[in-house]
Amino acid sequence: MSTEILPDSDTRQDIRPDLSHGDGDHERFAHYVQKDKIVDSAVSGSPVVALCGKVWVPTRDPKRFPVCPECKKIYESLPEGAD
């Protein structure tokens, strides 16, 4: 990140790299991940992979977000006991 002053003004503009990996919808949902992977991630800080394919290191409380529709659809299509 850098800050630059625009020519002929006192206006400052923050230049931030775009760290987005898509349209951002994945950030608005709680995702389904294998339980043992969540524990590993909590201990080691390693990324997890959701059923929908999102890869990230969980840091937020998933109870604060609605369930990802794609994860939910995939989960519901799995045979019982496959979680």
Q: What is the pLDDT along the chain (83 residues), one digit of tens a residue?
A: 444 555 565 555 555 444 444 445 557 899 999 989 998 998 999 999 999 999 999 888 889 999 999 999 999 999 886 65
CB atoms within 10 A of CB 77: 9
pTM for the full predicted model: 0.62
Taking the C-alpha atoms of residue 9 and residue 39, their distance in angstroms, rounded to an integer, is: 51
Taking the C-alpha atoms of residue 66 and residue 60, their distance in angstroms, rounded to an integer, is: 13
Q: What is the pLDDT of residue 12?
A: 53
Q: What is the pLDDT of residue 59?
A: 86
- Can you tell me whether residue 41 is helix, strand or coil? helix
Our separate counts of H helices and E strands in the chain read 2, 4
